[in-house]
Amino acid sequence: MSISRADIEKVAVLARIKVDSEQVSALEKDLGNILDLVDQLSAADTDSVEPMAHPLDAVQKLRPDVVSETSQREAFQAIAPATEDGLYLVPRVIE
């Protein structure tokens, strides 16, 4: 697969990137090489390869789901500027 000069210029406009004509030629070659590599990778037979989430089969060690701190709700609400029925009251932002 190849990429044209017009494609590069269009992407540059969409990305709001200034690209000189010299850079377009270099990008055309470099992006063409990248797309050729992607085509080669796409051609590889992966039917017998099992999908995996991590290449090293690493597992996350999980801690038990237990409460580790006591509730300090009353202490925090006591120092709040305004509360009502256990909720924090804040000034209206949108009219």
- Write the DSSP assignment of 7-40 as a string of letters: HHHHHHHHTT----HHHHHHHHHHHHHHHHHHHH
Determine, yes or no, domain membership for 56. no
Determine, yes or no, domain membership for 37. yes
Task: Give the total number of structural domains in the chain.
Answer: 1
- This prediction's pTM: 0.49
| Per-residue model confidence as pLDDT tens digits over 16-53 | 999 998 899 899 999 999 999 999 999 999 888 888 87
Asked whether the beta carbons of 36 and 13 are under 8 A apart, the reply is no
Cα(79)–Cα(49) distance, rounded to whole angstroms? 59
Instruction: Tell me the average pLDDT across 46-66.
Output: 84
Look over the chain and give the mean of its residue pLDDT values, rounded to a whole number: 90
Determine, yes or no, domain membership for 21. yes
Amino acid at 47: D
Q: Which domain holds residue 24?
A: 5-42
Determine, yes or no, domain membership for 67. no
Cα(78)–Cα(95) distance, rounded to whole angstroms? 28
User: Which of 39, 40, 29 lies closest to 3 in space, CA to CA?
Assistant: 29
Determine, yes or no, domain membership for 38. yes
